[in-house]
Amino acid sequence: MVCATRLTRKTDDVSTEKILLDVSHLNVHFQTPEGELQAVRDVSFSLRQGETLGVVGESGSGKSQTMLAMMGLLANNARTDGQVLFRGDNILNVPTAQLNRVRGHKLAMIFQDPMTSLNPFLTVERQMTEVLQIHQNASRGQARASVVRMLESLRIADPLRCLRSYPHQFSGGMRQRIMIAMALLSQPHVLIADEPTTALDVTVQAQIVALLRQLQEDHGTSIIMVTHDLGLVAGLSDQVMVMYGGRVMEHGLADDIFYSASHPYTSALLASIPRLEHADDELQAIPGMPPSLRNMPAGCPFAPRCGRADSDCQRPASLRLVPEGASDHQCACHHPGAKA
Amino acid sequence: MPSSTLAAEPERSPWRDAMQRFRRNKAAVTSLVFLILITLVCVIGPWLLPHAYDSTDWDALKLPPALTHSHWWGTDESGRDLLVRCLMGGRISLMVGILTTLTSIALGVVWGACAGYIGGAVDQVMMRIVDIMYAVPYLLIAILLVTVLGRDFYLVVLAITAFSWMDTARLVRGQTLSLRQMEFIEAARAMGVSTPRIVFEHIVPNLLGLVLVYATVTVPSVILTESVLSFLGLGIQEPMTSWGVLIHDGAQMLDSAAWLLIFPALMLSLTLYSFNYLGDGLRDALDPKDR
Amino acid sequence: MNVPVFPLQSNPPLLQVRDLRVRYRVNDSKGFWPKTRQLEAVKGIGFDLYAGETLGVVGESGCGKSSLAKALIGLVPSESSKLMWFDQDFAKVPIQRWGSVRRDVQMVFQDPLSSLDPRLNVLKIISEPLRTHEPGLSAEQRKAAVIETLIKVGLEKSVLYRYPHELSGGQCQRIGIARAIILRPKVILCDEPVSALDVSIQAQIIQLLRQLQRDMNLTLVFISHDLAVVKHISHRVMVMYLGKMMELGPKNTLFKQPRHPYTQALLDAVPKADPRSERHKSFSLLSGDIPSPLDPPAGCVFHTRCTHADAHCSVQEPTAQGIAEGIVNACWHPLVHA
């Protein structure tokens, strides 16, 4: 009985491709009864074609808000400033009509809980063909044919039965695959995946990861993977951005982040997660807890928990190149380098 | 070992949070103040006014309201001062409202929480009893009770209680069913806490918010029911009066002495309105959207 | 189903379970008439638990690990041929009379916030076991015991009158643990205790549990879907799938040389925080989704996704076999390692 696919190796080098997404100094503020809270501070990164960016952070790190800001999906009381260039055009704070030409079409997003992203009252066919009918002016027949082709290319068994069914009839893994299929229908240049596998079992997660890798090989899609799972990021990403307390703590190629971590938070995080492949040493827990938006420390957000913090750290650190590090390895720390 | 570094804030129980939210709602606070005022006025007022509610003033029959004479709100066809009668009527209506609500809520909460938590056959039987009570034509039974046993104040309370506890029971049962699934209830069971203790120490306190809101909405409905009974001539006995009785009598004099209807109707409406606003305010205050 | 067990210690086990089954009725109405079906969440599990060890129970959704924990403590009804806690057989005893188990076996739940009553402050939450099982204590004595327990779990006295919503997830979980240890139980069942916590807090709670185990000589049953966490805290590990035990063995043997194809698949699927090895990883993925527990496959429940399965596996359910060194395996084609 054949029931397995092989997970392929990641081979492409993307450093020569053109830049698709260029984010500079993105800030997100929220107006609340308690005053103005800042969820994202001064975030900048760029993404090339075919590249994968892993954005790692815990709750309160601002990683999801950054993505929502780019897609224009923030709540009404949010204010953004900065610049987000998608293929050269600014998409931040532009009128909705202009944003809609890009959003869902060339810049797609999938979320953690596919159940709430899918309309429970419409069949899968309706929801998927709607995307094509709006963005590509396809007729119903054409749209249906494209959808079936897409489902087949994602190796979804029995696509016709799938189309006739409703979201609640599927398992979590299937729903996530349908979400990915929907996001891919208009062949987006960039796919943002916000914790796409957090709610899934580990064997199903492996399938979704293989699927995303397949996508990159077949279509050259760039992926932004937002997650708290360092393992997930390790396998998929070319570049990795570590966020904490709304700021970027460290940013560089995956190998640099994992093997030559410079920021105390990154090294502390790597030392505190239980790892299957490590021998059974004691975990080194990080004391304290992540800051809430209301109690953000002035200066470096990680200072209260950092072993290397001193009076310098009352001022926020800006992103600087890591001394003796790679040319694109940046760290926001007054004391980069050695272990926390 | 990491230490918890909590700033020295005063303790914030869920009730205190709710009080703060409530205070921010101007309409609700105004309603609460109005209700307290009107209760005080109805309780203390009649002792301060020169006229008694049942004393007839043969020189001032059907006198229109004016500030020039001692009957500020006028008199009725028997010469009784309307203002003091409105206040006495307020005493009765409010007392009926609050007392009936208390008993009917108490019964409903106990019934619904037990049915919801114990479940199974007990739940089925208890809810079928509720269904049967719903099916009984309450107004007819109330009329029957009152006609046979007389128009006693406590009988009116009993009659109205008997037919208003079911709504609370159903509501409480529904909430209990969803609370029962919560992990802290499972934790209590895993700890070996007995069923009655779980119901009274965990389930009921978590229901109280909802029940409080429901109670403030039940009071006006009870006052109205009492008014209806009085309007039908089956409520409080003469010479004692309630707003319902006053409205009943006033309606008959509409063309010749409209003030006899307007003043009690106004008092009743404002009170009902305030209770509803209070209930809205409580509901918004207790709704943990911020948490 | 007999589970030949190799005694790991000379002491008798604290818990002996044989052929444990947990069934639920679920609503399966598709049309007009209400219809219920039986869901067998746990299908005949057997194992022993020894004093001072941590038994990790790992599996994906639908494997029945939470139902197993609830059945062991009597929160849900179950059937078994043997369910012996501390040499007393509770298999035929109705749940209401499991009183003694409720003192010596406590539970820590997954969601720190919803496992605490939002209307009670920390003092009342942690002292509840005392009020239930030791009514003779005065309020002063209870308060002293609570403060002592708070210090043990790394919290300060200042949280005594706070409410759960004022505290963080990590602090709430410490309170849940404090509540579980205040009666000095012998066994604590932890149902996904760190899954709802931030990554940087998980390590703190895992360390806390390990320390408490050393200090108080506790026996832990640690349930999780996260293999790495289970590996860190357990001595022995049991792998479950769709209500059945696939493999049980000492941690190092299980993780280094798994005998069951499902265990191997799980280990392969976990992404490791090591980019070089992840990039060059290539293995067989399990296809398909986990079947619904309402409709489990015939024969071996794993055969529909197994790369080693054959016709025999789809017909005959494998029995759990004891292989050397305390390893139990339920497979017709166990993996062999050189």
pLDDT tens readout for residues B114-135: 999 988 889 999 999 999 988 8
% of chain C surpassing 70 pLDDT:
94
Subunit contact C281:A235, Cβ cutoff 8 A: yes
Place of tokens 């529909």: C304
Contact C157, C150 (CB under 8 A): yes
Rg (CA), chain C: 21
Helical ranges in B49-152 per DSSP H: 82-118, 120-135, 138-149
Closest among A247, A226, A256, A227 to A332, alpha carbons compared: A247
Distance, in Å, from the CA atom of A292 to the CA atom of B106, rounded to the nearest integer, reads 41
Closest CA to C38 of C236, C289, C296: C296
**Partner-chain contact B192 C163, CB within 8 Å:** no
B279 CA: distance to closest CA in chain A (Å): 23
Residue-level pLDDT at C200: 85
pLDDT, residue A4, reads 37
Give A109's strand partners.
A192
Task: Return the pLDDT at B11.
Answer: 60
Question: How many pairs of residues across A and B have Cβ atoms under 8 Å apart?
Answer: 6
String of DSSP letters for C13-25:
PSEEEEEEEEEEE
CB nearest A290 (choices: C198, C227, C280):
C198
Q: C204: which chain A residues are within 8 Å (Cβ-Cβ)?
A: 285-287
Domain membership flag for residue C164: yes
Asked if residue B154 has pLDDT above 60, the reply is: yes
Report cis status (omega within 30 of 0) of the bond before C164: no
Percent of chain B with pLDDT over 90: 21
The answer, yes or no, to whether residue C57 has pLDDT greater than 60, is: yes
Question: Which tokens go with C149?
Answer: 């327990």
pLDDT: which is higher, A300 or B147: A300
How many angstroms from the chain centroid is the CA of residue A336? 25
Residue type at position A224: I
Please, which residues bridge with residue A90 across strands?
Answer: A85
**Residue-wise burial string across A87-111, b where 16 or more C-beta atoms lie within 10 A, e elsewhere:** beeebbeeeeeebeebbbbbbbbbb
In this structure, are residues B237 and B56 in contact, taking their beta carbons and an 8 Å threshold? no
Q: What is the pLDDT of residue A76?
A: 86
From chain B, the residues in CB contact with C179 under 8 A are 187, 191
The three-state secondary structure class of A46 is: strand
pTM over 0.80: yes
Q: Residue with structure tokens 């990795």?
A: A240
ipTM: 0.83
The residue extents of the domains of chain B are: 17-49+71-286
Q: Residue B58: how many CB atoms within 10 A of its CB?
A: 7
Residue B33's pLDDT is: 93
Looking at the predicted structure, is the pLDDT value of residue B5 above 50?
Answer: no
CB nearest to C61's CB, from A59, A201, A285: A201
Query: In CATH, which superfamily holds the domain spanning A19-237?
Result: P-loop containing nucleotide triphosphate hydrolases (3.40.50.300)
Q: What is the pLDDT of residues B224-251, one digit of tens each?
A: 888 887 777 777 777 788 888 888 888 8
Q: Is residue C44 part of a domain?
A: yes
Q: How far apart are CA B247 and CA B255, in angstroms?
A: 14
Contact (CB<8Å) C283/A5: no
Residue partners of B8: CB distance under 8 A and separation at least 6: C158
Q: Which of C198, C267, C272 sits opposite A234 (nearest CB)?
A: C272
Contact in structure between C87 and C12 (CB atoms under 8 Å): yes
Instruction: Give, for all 340 residues of chain A, the pLDDT tens digit.
Output: 223 344 444 445 556 678 889 999 999 999 988 788 999 999 999 999 889 999 999 888 899 999 999 988 888 889 999 999 998 888 888 888 888 888 877 898 988 887 777 888 888 888 888 878 877 777 888 888 888 888 887 777 788 888 888 888 887 788 888 888 888 887 889 999 999 888 788 888 888 888 888 888 888 889 999 998 888 898 889 999 999 999 999 999 999 999 989 899 999 998 888 887 776 667 888 888 888 888 888 888 998 888 888 888 888 888 888 888 778 888 988 888 754 4
Instruction: Give the integer Cα–Cα distance in Å for C24 and C51.
Output: 31
Q: Give yes or no for C257 touching A (CB within 8 A).
A: no
| Relative orientation angle of helices B165-180 and B204-231, to the nearest 10 degrees | 160
Contact yes or no for B5 and A288 at CB 8 A: yes
Which tokens is B250 given?
């006033």
Beta carbons of C172 and C112 less than 8 angstroms apart: yes
Cα angle at C78 between C76 and C83, to 5 degrees? Answer: 115
The predicted model gives C137-165 an average pLDDT of: 91
The residue among C261, C270, C220, C207 whose CA lies nearest residue C239 is C261
Determine the longest span between alpha carbons in chain C, in angstroms.
Answer: 67
In terms of phi and psi (left: phi > 0; alpha: psi -120 to 50; beta: otherwise), the region of B3 is beta
Determine the longest span between alpha carbons in chain A, in angstroms. Answer: 67
Percent of chain B with pLDDT over 70: 94
What would the pLDDT profile of C216-237 be if each residue is shown by its tens digit?
A: 999 999 999 989 899 989 999 9
Residues of B in contact with C110 (CB under 8 A): 183
Domain count, chain C: 1
B-chain residues near A289 (CB < 8 A): 2
> How close, in Å, is residue A19 to chain C by CA atoms?
23
pLDDT at C2: 41
CATH number at residue C90: 3.40.50.300
Query: What is the model's pLDDT at position A313?
Result: 85
The pLDDT, as a whole number, for residue C324 is: 64
Task: For the domain covering B17-49+71-286, report its CATH number.
Answer: 1.10.3720.10
- For A13-69, list the strands marked E by DSSP: 19-32, 35-48, 52-56
Residue C293 lies in a domain: yes
Q: Are strands C244-250 and C236-241 parallel, antiparallel or unpaired?
A: antiparallel
H-type helices in chain A, by residue range?
63-71, 96-102, 114-117, 124-135, 140-153, 159-164, 172-184, 202-219, 230-236, 254-259, 264-272
* Residues of chain A positioned with their CB less than 8 A from the CB of C277: 277
**Subunit contact B192:C118, Cβ cutoff 8 A:** no
A206 contacts: CB under 8 Å, gap ≥ 6: A7, C268, C269, C271, C285, C286
Please provide the average confidence, as pLDDT, over all residues in chain B.
Answer: 83
Q: Which amino acid is at A124?
A: V
Helix, strand, or coil (residue B108): helix
Nearest C-alpha of chain C: how many angstroms from B209? 11
Q: Look up tokens 């019964």; give the residue.
A: B107
Mean pLDDT lowest among A232-241, B60-69, B84-93, B104-113: B60-69
pLDDT at B243: 87
Cα separation, C247 vs C327, in Å, equals: 7
Residue C6, pLDDT score: 46
Contacts of C280 (CB under 8 A, 6+ apart): A9
- What's the rounded mean pLDDT across residues C283-296? 78
As a whole number of angstroms, the distance between CA A117 and CA A119 comes to 7
Q: For residues A288 and A302, give the distance between their C-alpha atoms in angstroms, rounded to a whole number.
A: 10
Domain locations in chain A as residue ranges: 19-237, 248-275+292-331
Note every long-range contact of C303-307, with CB atoms under 8 Å and residues 24 or more positions apart, other chains counting.
C304/A3, C305/A3, C305/A203, C305/C265, C306/A3, C306/C261, C306/C262, C307/A3, C307/A4, C307/C261, C307/C265
The two structure tokens encoding residue C116: 């605490």
Distance in Å from the first CA to the final CA of chain B? 28
Domain with C286, as residue range(s), is: 15-24+38-329
Which tokens hold the place of B279? 């209930």
Distance separating alpha carbons of residues B107 and B112, to the nearest angstrom: 8
Those of residues 4-43 in B touching chain A at CB distance below 8 A are: 5
